[in-house]
């Protein structure tokens, strides 16, 4: 069975997407209180992790990382990316919020390195893809404890995503966090903003 088809039968979903090794599984652990495999090497999560509550019609899904994965062949990496795109397309109507997790320290450099005539960086592509699917999207800018020039870095990220800086006017979209230290208030607030807009305040207790 395709591991991408193991989704619990739930009508409401929040998904985490992002490159390998940006801290999605750590963030998932913070959100759910449930431990998932995390590792120092990119690509530990290769199949979706779903976390649902028996009595609730709601699931949080941590999708595998896209981009470079340690020890994974290029065509397998491409297949995982294709599977992620198909998953998001198939469940777009159920997804209340898409959380794109990026590494605050390196994301701007990675985007700039992969911006070329025929190349759109994964992070930028995924951000616009989610929005094209009409999925309310929050960019969780993780590992902010390692960033010195915080406002400058967040402004640069906004610029790369096509959002007009300063970043502070996008607080329902840009959420600086440090998942490892449990500092995820900005993300929880952004997610709640989007849940409230969809009349799902009942899900606030998960965020």
Enter the pTM of the model.
Answer: 0.92
- By percentage, how much of the chain surpasses pLDDT 90? 64
Look at the alpha carbons of 57, 134, 113, 176 in this order and tell me if their dihedral is positive or negative.
negative
CATH number of the domain that residue 163 is part of: 3.40.50.300
75 pLDDT band (50/70/90 cuts)?
confident
pLDDT score for 196 = 97
Indicate if the pLDDT at residue 52 is higher than 90: no
Query: Is 16 a domain residue?
Result: yes
Indicate if the pLDDT at residue 43 is higher than 50: no
Query: Is 152 a domain residue?
Result: yes
Indicate if the pLDDT at residue 117 is higher than 90: no
Indicate if the pLDDT at residue 103 is higher than 60: yes
Residue 114 or residue 43, greater confidence: 114
Tally of domains in the chain: 1
Q: How far apart are CA 197 and CA 20, in angstroms?
A: 30
Nearest alpha-carbon partner for 158 in 122, 107, 193: 107
pLDDT score for 36 = 57
What range does the domain containing 195 cover?
A: 3-201
Contacts of 130 (CB under 8 A, 6+ apart): 17, 88, 98, 100, 137
pLDDT digits (tens, 9 = 90+) for 17-41: 999 889 998 999 899 887 655 444 4
pLDDT score for 39 = 46
Residue 139 or residue 121, greater confidence: 139
Q: Quick one: average pLDDT of 1-29?
A: 87
Q: Quick one: average pLDDT of 118-133?
A: 92
Q: Quick one: average pLDDT of 130-157?
A: 97
pLDDT digits (tens, 9 = 90+) for 150-191: 999 999 999 999 999 999 999 999 999 999 999 999 999 999
pLDDT score for 121 = 87
Query: Is 207 a domain residue?
Result: no
How many residues are given for the chain? Answer: 207
């Amino acid at each position: 069975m395709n591991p991408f088809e193991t989704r619990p039968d739930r009508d409401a979903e929040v998904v985490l997407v992002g490159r390998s090794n940006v801290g999605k599984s750590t963030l998932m652990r913070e959100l759910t209180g449930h431990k998932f495999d995390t590792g120092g090497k990119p690509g530990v999560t290769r199949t979706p992790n779903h976390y649902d509550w028996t009595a609730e019609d709601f699931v949080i899904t941590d999708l595998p990382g896209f981009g470079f994965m340690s020890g994974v062949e290029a065509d397998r990496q491409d297949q995982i990316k294709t599977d992620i795109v198909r998953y998001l397309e198939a469940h777009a109507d159920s997804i209340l919020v898409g959380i794109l997790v990026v590494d605050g320290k390196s994301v701007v450099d990675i985007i700039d390195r992969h911006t070329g005539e025929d190349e759109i960086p994964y992070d930028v592509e995924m951000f616009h893809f989610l929005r094209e699917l009409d999925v309310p999207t929050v960019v969780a800018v993780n590992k902010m404890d390692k960033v010195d020039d915080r406002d400058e870095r967040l402004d640069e990220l906004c610029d790369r995503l096509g959002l007009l800086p300063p970043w502070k006017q996008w607080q329902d979209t840009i959420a600086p966090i440090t998942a490892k230290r449990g500092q995820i208030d900005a993300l929880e607030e952004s997610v709640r903003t989007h849940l409230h807009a969809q009349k799902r305040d009942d899900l606030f207790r998960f965020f």
